[in-house]
Amino acid sequence: MHADPNLYDYWPYVGRPKIEWPGGKKLAFWIAPNIEFYEFMPPNNPKRQPWPGATPNVQQYSQRDFGNRVGHLRLMELLDKYNLRGSVSLNVALCNHHPEIIEDCVKRDWEFFSHGIYNTRYSYGLTPEQEQAVLKDSIQTVEKASGQRIRGYLAPALTHTEATLDLIAENDFWYSCDLFQDDQPQPLKTKTGKLVSMPYSLEVNDVITYSVMGFDPERYTNMLKRHFDQLLLEGERSGTVMCIPLHAYLVAQPHRIRPFEEALKHICAHQDDVWFATGKEIAKHFIDNYWEQSIADIKARGVMTGGTGFNPVVRGL
């Protein structure tokens, strides 16, 4: 066990070299609807039980199912209205269970990235070989259902092993949404590949605001507007990233979706300054244009620790 994952180096937010998004935009905005499948009777993982209380949990299961039957359509139509494309955080088994939803996304030219097989199957306890199989399954399942090669990863239910990020880099993924240390992308220290830590803005995730913090819809809208305004202001110095990670079973509830629209309206009123993109587009732009300059600047700060994730350089032996 390690005290520090050593997945990235310390990089103070001030004085970084300037990032400019395409068209000279200051803020890259992306929206990540989580399209998930929670199993009715999942097996137990010794580190975490799948449902609060007991399994099955009909209220919780059916609320997730509401997301798939009602919520996504509501959210898709709202995003259409603002000409926004989603980057779907996908439990890939949904391709098997509900292909209609995948078709709806493909029609809209949305991007998919993997959020594991099911949100009720955690990474804890998987061997690297088993985790590799999950990744191959993710790549192949989405390719078959949509023709897309996925490039992003968010571990199912934010559960990890020490090997997770090395494995996704090895499988030619471009970005990870698993780390929340920054409002700008940063190179990750994986054994192979070029893997970007993509800001996924966990604090403004509707699970955090609605289920954990107990916000009402109006407070969530205020928060999103303020978050956006501050990051846009700072994006003048060097381009920032804002993501809104969403769950239709929460945000697309009948009492919440209209207040949420107010936040989108506010953000979309800044077309001149904002690059409306998908996760893959942001990652590619960063890798193509800013990977080297970021590493050079991190190095210049003099606090690179060397080694790779969970594989620190051991000094003095």
Partner 1 sequence: MDESYLKYSERKYGQDHNFYDWEMVKDRPKLQWDNGTKLAICFIIPLEFFPLNPDEKPFQHPGAMKTPYPDLRHFTVRDYGNRVGVYRIMETLDKAGVKGSFAVNAEIAKRYPPLIDAVIAQTHEIVAQGLSTDSIHHEGLSEAEELARIQKTVQSFSNAPLGWLSPSRNQSSRTLSLLAKAAFEYCLDWEMNQSPQIARTDIGEISLLPNSYELSDFTLLHMRGQTEESWLSQIKSAMDLLVDEYDRFGSQMLGLTLTPYVIGQPFRIWALKALLAHIKDMDGVEVFKTGRINKQFRAQI
Of 187, 129, 178, 183, nearest to 152 by C-alpha is 178
The DSSP call for residue 119 is: T
DSSP 148: P
Restricted to residues 28-47, the positions that interact with partner 1 (CB under 8 A) are 47
Strands 27-35 and 240-247 come out as: parallel
Smaller CB separation from partner 1, 94 or 179: 179
Q: Find the binding residues for partner 1 in span 46-65 (CB under 8 A).
A: 47-48
Contact segment (CB under 8 A) with partner 1 among 52-60, 156-164, 257-265, 283-291 equals 156-164
C-beta of 69: minimal distance to partner 1 in Å? 29
- Least distance CB 48 / partner 1 (angstroms): 6
Which of 102, 263 has the CB closer to partner 1? 263
The minimum distance between CB 97 and partner 1, in angstroms, equals: 26
Distance of CA 123 to CAs 33, 48, 150, 187, 310, Å?
Answer: 21, 10, 19, 23, 16
Q: Judged by CB, which is closer to partner 1: 40, or 180?
A: 180
Instruction: Quote the CA–CA distance of 103 and 112 in Å, as a whole number.
Output: 12
Binding residue for partner 1, selected from 68, 89, 141, 159, defined by CB under 8 A? 159
One-letter identity of residue 302: G
**Per-residue binding letters, 116-155, with partner 1 (x by CB under 8 A):** --------x-------------------------------
Sequence-separated (6 or more) residues with CB below 8 Å from residue 298: 9, 10, 11, 186, 187, 304
**Which member of 70, 78, 202, 268 binds partner 1 (CB under 8 A)?**
202
The phi-psi region of residue 275 (left if phi > 0; otherwise alpha if psi is between -120 and 50; otherwise beta) is beta
Chain contacts with partner 1 (rule: CB under 8 A)? 1-5, 7, 10-14, 47-48, 124, 158-162, 178-183, 202-204, 213-215, 219, 223-224, 226-227, 230-231, 234, 301-303, 310
